[in-house]
């Protein structure tokens, strides 16, 4: 047995449309004249000319941070590619002359077509090597190859970071 929903008949005044039409006209006219006289309350952002600044925690393009000598901070530990739910980080480890760290990536690729910009990689990173804080929006490309970011591309967006390797963030 369904529940009977009472539908009250609107009274004659409402059914005659006119007062409601008048009220509606009042409201739309108020918006019309307010916007005609001064551009207040217009929500449009003229996009290519005007851009909103992204909030500071916006996750945009990835970047790889540098050490003080300019080399990559990444030690090819694979934590980020393990944490990645979209499986978009491809790392090939290689040896490095630096005796403090044993490994460095020879290949570090991010497939932006797979990436979901969740930020798990930067949380997983013990070296403050990968970050998503570039503040740039991912730009579209004409072919799939252009949506792959290699190590040089990621490094070129990076900046020197002085936080301790494997330690606290500065």
Match 């369904």 to its residue by tokens. 2
- Taking CB under 8 A as the binding criterion, the range among 24-32, 90-98, 133-141, 162-170 that sits at the site for other proteins is 24-32
Q: Measured in whole angstroms, how far is the alpha carbon of residue 94 from the centre of its chain?
A: 31
Q: Of the two residues 33 and 92, which places its CB atom closer to other proteins in the complex?
A: 33
Q: How far is CA 109 from CA 59, 72, 96, 144, 152, in A?
A: 18, 14, 18, 13, 10
Nearer CB in complex with other proteins: 16/106: 16
The one among 3, 46, 100, 152 contacting other proteins by CB under 8 A: 46
The answer to whether residue 13 forms part of the interface with other proteins (CB under 8 A) is no
Q: Using CB under 8 A, pick the residue from 1, 5, 38, 43 that binds other proteins.
A: 43
35 binds other proteins (CB under 8 A): yes
Nearer to other proteins, 22 or 82 (CB): 22
Kind of pairing between the strands at 63-64 and 130-131: antiparallel
Using the rule CB under 8 A, is 51 a contact of other proteins?
Answer: no
| DSSP codes of every residue in 11-29 | PHHHHT-HHHHHHHHHHHH
Which of 141, 133, 136, 145 is CA-nearest to residue 109? Answer: 145
106 lies in the binding site for other proteins (CB under 8 A) = no
Distance in angstroms (rounded) separating the CA atoms of residues 15 and 30: 24
Query: Which residues contact other proteins (rule: CB under 8 A)?
Result: 18, 21, 24-25, 27-29, 31-32, 35-36, 41-44, 46
């Amino acid at each position: 047995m369904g529940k009977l929903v009472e539908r009250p008949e609107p009274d004659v005044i409402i059914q005659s449309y006119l007062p409601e039409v008048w009220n509606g006209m009042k409201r739309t006219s108020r918006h019309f004249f307010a916007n005609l006289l001064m551009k207040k309350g217009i929500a449009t952002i003229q996009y290519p000319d005007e851009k909103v600044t992204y909030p500071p925690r916006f996750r945009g393009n990835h970047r790889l941070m540098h050490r003080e000598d300019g080399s990559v901070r990444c030690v090819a530990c694979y934590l980020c590619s393990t944490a990645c739910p979209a499986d978009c980080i491809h790392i090939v480890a290689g040896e490095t002359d630096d005796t403090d760290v044993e490994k460095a990536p020879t290949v570090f690729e991010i497939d932006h077509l797979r990436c979901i910009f969740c930020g798990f990689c930067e949380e997983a990173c013990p070296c403050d090597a990968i970050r998503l804080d570039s503040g740039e929006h991912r730009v579209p490309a004409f072919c799939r190859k252009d949506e792959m970011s290699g190590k040089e591309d990621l490094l070129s967006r990076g900046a020197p970071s002085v936080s301790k390797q494997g330690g606290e963030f500065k």
